[in-house]
Structure 1
Amino acid sequence: MSGALTAISDFLGWNNAPSDQVSIVVTTGSTSRQITNWTSAVLRLGIEIMPWTAALGMTAARASAAGVNTINPGDICQVYIGTDLVFTGYVITVVDDLGPEDHMIEVQIASKSVDLVECAAEFSTFQMNSTNVLAIAQAVCKFAQIDVISVNGAGDTDILAFSVILTETAYEVIERLSRLAAVLFYDRPDGNICMSAVGSRRAASGFAVGQNVERIQTVRSLGGRYSKVIAITQNTVSLFTDPNVNALESQMGVLTVGVEATDPGVPRTRNMFIPVENGDENNKVCQQRAQWEVNRRYGRAYPVTLTADSWRDAAGQLWLPNTLAPVTARNGTVSDLLIGELTLRQTVEDGTHADVVLMPPDAFAPEPLLNPVLADKFLQVMNSAQNSADSSIQTDDLPPLKDTTS
């Protein structure tokens, strides 16, 4: 009986530990109200998940008493765990599910970044010059009333020129920008998004088999890995090979530029070719990309998926994406891994659990990207003309940079 009481007290936050009770604050017009005591909750957060989402369930009888039936799609919504704000967004869908034995109401919520993912990017001009990554990202988010916050200066990267494709969503623009700056971007609790380096924070504790880990799956794989990643030029040399020489050796000698990266963990010959793009001065970007291909594929080959018995570390802080945490295996081996994805779930019957996906930090490093403007000869000429005339192409009025950290 004491175990059941402990489970109930943990669910409702009756002890001295931080509460794990899920609640929402819903704002309709000028009226706000808090709704608690959900019978089920599933929250999904991640570095590569945008928007963050929540699905909260309640019996129809309880929902009527709590005022859930007055919630409407489009209402502004803040999702809390205890007193911790997890994310800010909108009610997307309200589901009324009536069956022969039960009647449930489910409220589905998405963070504010849902508008960045689904809506077009709009500018007064789609060609920007002499600006930087953070400033453009802030401009592209303005329509959704979302700010972009730099963590420790991430994204404060000057770029000569940037061209927005007319049909791109705001998310797609920011995704290209983040690769130019070699940073991650993801949701923040306050409804804004941040740009950050990989592993911007560290948990006070980690995950250990036999302690807070209920289930763990580790993977070791050669899937998608290559023994060597080789950069090659793109030209017509392969069409004109002397038949009296070793064709492959002759072609490769002309096509390769001396840029390659190797994965010593791949035992047989498995080569991957990547192109050297126009405008890549001294092959700098293709060298970075070759090493990125090796590092990322290695990192993705060793994922750890586990279920923890709590949503918080030893200091009472919620597990969050882009957090470094030690993982102690059954044999005592400790690996410092990065939290990439979280599913926080809770029901009255089953209690509180966190499904966590962790990988080596290199698995989340953004792909190096050559600015497409620099790879386009026509745009290079236009930019050169603008720099000399200083009036040929209009530039956006971008907001000043903010010296803000998360």
Structure 2
Amino acid sequence: MNLLDNASEFLGYGQAQSNAASIVVNGLIISGWTRVEIHAGVEIMPWEAQLETTNHQPDRSDLAIAAGDECQVLIGKTRILTGYIQTITSELSTSNHLLRIIVKSRSVDLVECSAEFSTYQMNNTTALGIIQQVCKPFGISVSAEGSEGRTAIQQFSVILTETAYEVIERVCRLAACIFHDMPDGSILLASVGSNHHASGLVQGQNVEHATSLDTMDGRYSSIQAIIQNPAVLFTPPEDGDKHAQQMLAQTAPVQASATDPAVKRHRPMLIPVETGDADYAVAKKRVQWEAARRYGRSQIVQATVDSWCDSRGTLWSPNWLVHCEIPAMKIMRSLLISEVVLVQDEQGTHATITLMPPATFTPEPIVLPLAQNEGVAAITRG
């Protein structure tokens, strides 16, 4: 029995167009899906694909694939996802047979499994080195864009109960970089994207539907870094003067503040300075980061377009910039792609793209672990 022929008959192999999705699994190329939905994004891990087909011969059971099989998802000849068949759902009725396959990228194991190390205390290494070590048991390679991930980390401790993903997320905060899946199943450490798509999202051309968000949720008129001193008890607890019994925490602002001029009301936010922050260098970055991130997440644009690709045939890609021209919503600027959902079904081929200002994704500045040591902090401050 030729399994490839059976799969071809079962799922319509050979009917795929240049932009159709297919799965490569166990030496088979399976296409002809009636519905395809692929999720990819900067803040999505793992990437995921869901593929469905219906069959009018519900007694067919010779498709030799199983949950856990390694596979690739292709769009035409372009690989979009490498991972595993996570779930197979089969629904049977008197007239129809629905087959649904969910594929997740290799990073699903990083998200769901505990991190494993020969030692849970690492010294004199780099962010890239730690992440490569945490991914090695899962057979996942890690690369860095430019100098990203080269940050020297003199001391790093892994918490026993952490998942591999949680370790990576914490390390990337130290390295001030972002990380995301790649189509080949690897992980990339990167900066906020600077690549531009060849064409944009243009009202009256390729935009079929769009929504925009402009909210004051989570935004503040001023963000100020402060030092908090120990509380002082001014009178003994037995004293009858309740006002004098209050423990008053003394706080003092430092030269690190940011404002959001669009917030007209008095809405302050205070951020404590971390131990070991010499000259408040991290605090100055942190308040700016807070203002930019909160602004960015209040300005979300989501557009559905009529193609999976830009004018050069490049798939709409997370962490890429795209110029948006939607005059009806007063949107005329370049935004960063946060998430892409590619859908192909009986209603056609569409991509729903979520975009935000690039500064939204800049990692939060924090003090490196060794700098948090009080002795080191004292020496650093002179």
TM-score normalised to structure 1 length: 0.81
The answer for unaligned runs of 5 or more in structure 1 is: 1-10, 14-18, 244-249, 385-406
Give the match for residue 21 of structure 1: 20
Bigger proportion of residues as helix: 1
Which of 87, 92, 117 is 1:93 aligned to? 87
2: CA distance between counterparts of 1:109 and 1:216?
28
**Are 2:71 and 1:55 aligned?**
no
Tell me, yes or no, if the aligned pair for 1:237 and 1:255 is still in contact at 8 Å.
no
Gaps of 5+ in 2: 1-14, 236-240, 242-247
Contact 1:45/1:321 (8 A) holds in 2: yes
Describe the superposition over 1:171-212 as per-residue Cα deviations: whole angstroms up to 9, x where unpaired: 111111111111110001111010111014221111001100
| Residue type at the aligned position of 1:327 | C
The 1:188/1:44 distance shift into structure 2, 3 A limit, reads same
Say whether 1:285 aligns with 2:299. no
Q: Which amino acid aligns with 2:297?
A: R
CA RMSD of aligned residues (A): 2.4
Q: Which residue of 1 aligns with 2:123?
A: 129
Q: Does 1:303 align with 2:303?
A: no
Partner in structure 2 of residue 340 of structure 1: 338
Please tell me whether residue 145 in structure 1 is matched to residue 139 in structure 2: yes
Q: Work out the CA distance in 2 between the residues paired with 1:302 and 1:154.
A: 27
Q: What amino acid sits opposite 1:265 in the alignment?
A: A
What's the CA shift string for 1:311-334, capped at 9, x where partnerless? 000000101100100000135752
Aligned residues: 352
- CA deviation map 1:27-69 (0-9, x unaligned): 3xxxx111010111100000000000011001144798795x3
Does structure 1 residue 318 correspond to structure 2 residue 315? yes
The 1-side partners of 2:265 and 2:338 are apart by 30
CA distance in 1, matches of 2:119, 2:172: 20
Amino acid aligned to 1:298: Y
* AA in 2 matched with 1:49: I
**Which residue identity is paired with 2:334?**
D
Partner of 1:389: none
**SS of the counterpart of 1:34?**
strand
RCO greater where, 1 or 2, for CA within 8 Å and sep 6 or more?
A: 1
1:264 corresponds to: 261
Q: CA shift at 1:369, angstroms?
A: 2.0
**Counterparts of 1:95 and 1:40 in 2: how far apart (Å)?**
14
Confirm or deny: 8 A CA contact 1:73 1:91 kept in the other structure. Answer: yes
* Distance (whole Å) between structure 2 residues aligned to residue 173 and residue 273 of structure 1: 28
Residue 99 of structure 1 and its aligned partner are, at CA, apart by 4.0
**Alignment-mate amino acid for residue 332 of structure 2:** V
Letter in 1 for 2:304: T
TM-score (normalised: structure 2): 0.86
* 16, 32, 40: which one aligns with 2:35: 40
Cα distance change of structure 1 residues 63 and 101 upon mapping to structure 2, 3 Å threshold? closer
1:204 is matched with which residue? Answer: 198
The answer to whether the aligner puts 1:164 opposite 2:158 as a matched pair is yes
- CA 1:238 to 1:208, structure 2 compared with 1: closer, same or farther past 3 Å? farther
Inter-CA distance 371–64: structure 2 relative to 1 (3 Å threshold)? farther
After superposition, the C-alpha distances for 1:70-103 in whole angstroms (9 at most, x for unaligned) are 2101100100000110010000110012246532
- Paired AA for residue 19 in structure 2: D
Find the partner of 1:213 among 207, 220, 229: 207
Equivalent position amino acid for 1:294 in 2:
A
1:375-394 matches, within 5 Å, as 375-377=372-374
Cα gap change, 1:336 to 1:63, in 2 (>3 Å): farther
Aligned mates of 1:292, 1:62 — CA distance in 2: 57
SS class of match (1:70) = coil
- Looking at structure 1, the residues matched to 177 and 59 of structure 2 have their Cα atoms a distance apart, in angstroms, of 45
One-letter amino acid matched to 2:175:
A
Equivalent residue for 1:364, pick from 347, 361, 366: 361
